[in-house]
């Protein structure tokens, strides 16, 4: 990957720009809209939002006002947990599309797996709705978010269309190796949310020391580390300077020795949200 517009190719032949701009915790209104505008001005062409972020309308406004051809942008949104199931998922997608004021989205994700006794059936029913949206041309690709290997496996048994993506928490100190390996074995792209460890990694002494040797910030180091591990990072910021800085990850390469050191870091910076335990 040599630029923001270089892409991962999905198993259904769709190109996803290799670094996305995350909007989790970007407040709806001018803050979120301005952040997305700054991101597009900085060169991002991949924008990630979700119904539960409650900022789809602001994201949509920023897209409309950006002046960039819609076809040049890759837009992701996600289905929230209270809208799982075939009929509710279709209704929720329609609402997201209206909030975004778009004719289609590039990627639609199930935000979290159903994790109760009947979870596999609920996930399968939801996935059938996603397959309909895909066949109807309303989404270019469909995928998952926060699904572990043992959630994906039963879904693959009933799915007609294989998930293109699994978006999971992935950063130094929290690599979820089992799920990453499973996805790679099944040609599912891994997207990395919270690549900076919800900001907790930015003052980590060892990461600061390594970043200093390359003359980059810890944020840039973490984003580059995600790419070199074959994952697609989704950094988030609402500060113009940091939004721009986070694009500058293609002019250095982390050595194999430093990659191994970072990969070996103990647990740090995790959100605490485990897909099998979350109640929301």
User: Of 38, 53, 108, 134, which is the active-site residue?
Assistant: 53
Cα–Cα distance, 236 to 245 (Å, whole number): 11
Q: Give CA–CA dist 157/154, Å, rounded.
A: 5
SS (H, E, C) the chain: CCCCCCEEECCCCCEEECCCEECCCCCCCHHHHHHHHHHHHHCCCEEECCHHHCCHHHHHHHHHHCCCCHHHCEEEEEECHHHCCHHHHHHHHHHHHHHHCCCCEEEEEECCCCCCCCHHHHHHHHHHHHHHHHHCCCEEEEEEECCCHHHHHHHHHHCCCCCCEEEEECECCECCHHHHHHHHHCCCEEEEECCCHHHHHHHCHHHHHHHHHHCCCHHHHHHHHHHHCCCEEECCCCCHHHHHHCCCCCCCCCCHHHHHHHHCCCCCCCCCCCCCCCCC
Query: Is residue 108 among the annotated active site residues?
Result: no
Report, as residue numbers or ranges, the catalytic residues.
53
């Amino acid at each position: 990957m040599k630029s923001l517009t270089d892409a991962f190719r999905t198993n259904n032949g769709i190109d996803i720009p290799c670094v996305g701009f995350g909007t989790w915790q970007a407040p709806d209104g001018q803050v979120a809209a301005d952040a997305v505008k700054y991101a597009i001005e900085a060169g991002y062409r991949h924008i990630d939002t979700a119904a539960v972020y409650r900022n789809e309308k602001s994201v949509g406004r920023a897209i409309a006002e950006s002046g960039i051809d819609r076809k040049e942008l890759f837009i992701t949104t996600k289905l929230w947990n209270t809208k799982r199931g075939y009929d509710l998922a279709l209704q929720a997608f329609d609402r997201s599309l209206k909030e975004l004021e778009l004719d289609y989205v590039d990627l639609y994700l199930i935000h979290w797996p159903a994790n109760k006794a009947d979870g596999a059936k609920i996930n399968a029913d939801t996935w059938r709705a996603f397959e309909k949206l895909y066949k109807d041309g309303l989404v270019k690709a469909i995928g998952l978010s926060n699904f572990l290997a043992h959630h994906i496996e039963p879904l693959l048994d009933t799915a007609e269309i294989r998930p293109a993506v699994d978006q999971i928490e992935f950063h130094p100190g929290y690599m979820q190796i089992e799920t990453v390996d499973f996805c790679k074995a099944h040609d599912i792209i891994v997207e990395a949310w919270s690549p900076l460890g919800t900001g907790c990694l930015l003052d980590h002494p060892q990461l600061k020391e390594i970043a200093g040797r390359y003359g980059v910030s810890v944020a840039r180091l973490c984003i580059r580390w995600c790419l070199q591990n074959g994952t697609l990072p989704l950094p988030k910021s609402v500060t113009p300077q940091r939004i721009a800085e986070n694009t500058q990850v293609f002019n250095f390469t982390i050595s194999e020795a430093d990659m191994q050191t970072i990969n070996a870091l103990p647990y740090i910076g995790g959100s605490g949200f485990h897909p099998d335990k979350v109640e929301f």
